[in-house]
């Protein structure tokens, strides 16, 4: 049993590291593919429908946050 233990631990560690490495490589390649597509869409002369909708949503959220910040700054200070 003592001869099998170190080999099992080594195999487990290497297998775990191999699996994590492969997972990270896949996630990274998916990220880069999405990033490239986003850059291509942003540089295109005619913007895609999805890009226009996303930009509109972002602008709407920014406007809401700015309005909330402006409303919060107009409130009188709390008297605790």
13-58 per-position pLDDT tens digit: 888 888 888 998 988 888 888 888 888 888 889 888 988 999 999 9
**pTM, to two decimals:** 0.49
Q: Report the run of H or E that residue 67 belongs to, with start and end.
A: helix 49-73
Give the residue with greater pLDDT, 80 vs 54.
54
Q: What is the pLDDT of residue 47?
A: 87
Rounded to whole angstroms, the Cα distance separating 50 from 43 reads 14
Residue 59: pLDDT band (50, 70, 90) is very high
The residue among 57 and 78 whose pLDDT is bigger is 57
């Amino acid at each position: 049993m003592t001869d099998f233990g170190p080999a099992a631990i080594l195999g487990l560690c290497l297998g775990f590291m191999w699996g994590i490495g492969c997972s990270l490589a896949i996630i990274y390649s998916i990220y880069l593919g999405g990033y490239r597509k986003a850059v291509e869409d942003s540089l295109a002369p005619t913007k895609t429908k999805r890009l226009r909708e996303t930009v509109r949503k972002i602008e709407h959220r920014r406007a809401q946050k700015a309005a909330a910040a402006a409303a919060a700054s107009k409130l009188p200070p709390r008297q605790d």
